[in-house]
Amino acid sequence: MVVVSHNTSALNHLLPIKPCKTTTTTPTTIFTATPEVDLSHPEAKTVMVKACRDYGFFKIINHGVPFDLIADLENHALNFFNHPHSSVKHMHMAAPPHDPFGYGSNRIGSNGDVGCVEYLLLNTNPHLISPNSLLILHQIPMLFRCVLEEYIGEMKKMCCEVLEVMAEGLGIVEKNALSKVVGGEKNDSCFRLNHYPAATTTEAAEEKMLVGFGEHTDPQIISVLRSNNTSGLQICLNDGTWVSIPPDPSSFFINVGDSLQVMTNGRFKSVKHRVLAESKKTRVSMIYFGGAALSEKITPLKSLVSKDEESLYKEFTWLEYKNAAYKSRLADNRLSLFEK
């Protein structure tokens, strides 16, 4: 989840951090039915739309993103998180309170949610670059910055391509009805690198599962996720059952976000998901969150609402939704505030 508000506090590091929670849930079922979408296949639109209706989640193969680029970013990310980087932490402590970007750890948002995670959060629109993002980018090696920029460019391209296939599958005449929202000059997209450290010897011996990132939905339009070959990601099915998603470092996973659920008037479902930290292995994930412009009105597309059908949601701007989401806890149903 990435929610950025101009009213947020960046003092995570100054507040007492609760220890990582452990979960005592019974072993989760491995989900072997993850919908797989081949972007080069003529039926990609059909499979994609069905997956968005059934799960709000699917996997992309034959995506065209160079594997060398993916591996380079993962290696740079691991080097960054494994480095003491005390100067980066110090910069975060001195960061403006209205700028939540940059480096963080444990605390997720400002409402008490914590996880066994450290992260690097960057806004990706050069027209909206934050002071914290600039500070971080000036501190990390030039090669890391170049790889980040190239990877983010590939994610924006994939995000738009996926949304155009979705639009076709929904029968929307305007091919870019969805993609133009995240591809516009003023888009509010973000990129996040998450690092879930391996458990301590004691934790591993006791086979404790640490809560890396608690259950939530993503508020943006879609999220493009890739992780290393380490398990931990889980999604919640319609019947409330949690299932584990087998890792696949060669593919990308797509999450439907709250905004897309509204834009499709509930046809697509925003997927609830979480991450449990692997007891013995380090997990690194890279997530691109495709977001609308702050002033963009989030409302069901007219072409998807028939004359006999009513909109399920009140109209709101992306900034209004972001601000409301930031005031909530991770597991809250934020869309309930905007339902008619």
Residues forming the active site = 283
Q: Are residues 60 and 253 in contact, defined by beta-carbon separation less than 8 angstroms?
A: yes
The rounded distance, in Å, linking the Cα atoms of 235 and 56 is 10
The rounded distance, in Å, linking the Cα atoms of 107 and 103 is 11
Radius of gyration of the chain (CA): 19
The rounded distance, in Å, linking the Cα atoms of 335 and 259 is 9
Closest CA to 165 of 237, 220, 222: 222
Residue matched to tokens 């879609």: 222
